[in-house]
Structure 1
C-alpha cells in the first residue's frame, strides 16, 4: 500500500539520546509519490545542516521546498541547505515571504545568499499548487493580517494538514481545506501559535478540533509546551502527540 512518511527535521524539541539539535524553528520532510518535499527550513543554517546530516537526508535528494510564510524561523536555514546542495532547488512561497538581507535587522524575507546565486528557483504561490499526485500547497490565507500557505496531503482517510504557525486562524484554514477536498482535515501536524498565556485560544482550538472530529494530532513548534498541555485538558492526555525532531509518522495514501 502506498504511504506518505512525514519526518520532523527541525523543531524546538528533539528526540533524547540523539545528537539532533532542538531550536526555534520548523522543518518537516514529506515523502510521497516518489518525491521529497521540505516544508520549512528552520531558523539557523548550521542547525538545519546538522540535523539533515544526522538524519542522513542529503540536500540533493530534496525535490522542492515550501516556505509557509515570511517569519525567519521558517526560512532562515536556507544557506545551510544550499551549502551542501549541487543542483538548483524549486522554492514555493507566498510572494510576501520573499525579501532581502538587511545589515542591522537581518533578512526581511527569503533571499538567496550571493555565494549560492543560481541555486534557487522562485515560485510565488497564488492559488492551489499540486506538487505531486497527493501533495498540495494552499494559496496564501490572510486572515488576522498574516499571509501563510499550508501543505495538504490527500490520504485514504482524508486530508492531512501540515501547518507552519496557523496565523490566519484554525477555522479559516480548515474551511479552505474543506472547500478544496470536500471534508475537514482528519489529521493536523505542526504549529498553532499558542505559546504562553493563551489559554482561551488553546481551549478554543481544542474544542474546534473535537467538534470537527480531527483526531490525529501531532503538534510542535509554536504550539508550545504550555499550549499543548492546555489543549489536553479538553482532548485528553493521549489526544495530542508530541512531534519532535527525529520523529516520523506514516499514513496510507490509497
Structure 2
C-alpha cells in the first residue's frame, strides 16, 4: 500500500539509546509511545476528482534569475524566504538572489577541514529567523552550519549509520526534520531496514530524536546492487518522498 502521512504536530516523551555500530555511539532520543493521529491517504483508493485552478487558490509569480559566471544554477531545489531565494549548484556554490531574481552573493566552502563540506552537497535547508543555512555533508556524516554571508557557525555531527541526503527540512526554531534513507533496502545487508526513518535533528548539536511513525514493508523507488568486488551501487528516480507543505511536512514514503 502506498500511503501519505501529513505531520502536523510532533511531541512525545523520549529516552536515550546508543548505537550498536562500531563507530562512536551517537545518542538517539526514542519516544516511548507511538505517534498517532496523522492523516493517512491511501493512493490506491479511488477518490472523487475535483478540478482546481491554481490562480483561484494562490498568487502565481514568475521570477527570472540573473545569470552570470557567479550565479549559474542547476536543477537543485530553490529555497525561498521572505527576502531571499537560495540554491546550491553543481559546483556546490551556495547562491543568494533577492525576490526579484537579482544575484546578491555566493560562497563555496568545499574541502575536508572541520569548517568545510564535501564536493557533493547532499541536501540543504535554511533557518530564516537565525539567518543560517544548513549544508548536509553525507560523506562525513555531518551538517555544517553557516551564516547567510558564509561565515562558519558550527558542525552538527550525525551517526554514521544514518543518511539523510536531500531529505532535510526546517522544522522549528530548535530542530530540523530528516528522513533516513540508508536503512531502506534489506539487500544492503550491513544494516537492518529502518522502519522508523523520520527524525528531528537538533540545530544545536545534531542529536536525533526518533519520530515514532512506523513504515511497514518500507521500500524505495530505486534499485540497490553490489558488484563482484563488493562495491555498492544504487539507481534511483531522484524523487524525495518528503516535502514541505506550508508549515507542514508531507511524507509520501512507499510501503
Shared topology, TM-score over 0.5?
no
Higher helix share: 1
Q: Please report the TM-score for the alignment, with normalisation by the length of structure 1.
A: 0.29
Higher strand share: 2
Q: Please report the TM-score for the alignment, with normalisation by the length of structure 2.
A: 0.29
Greater CA radius of gyration, 1 or 2?
2
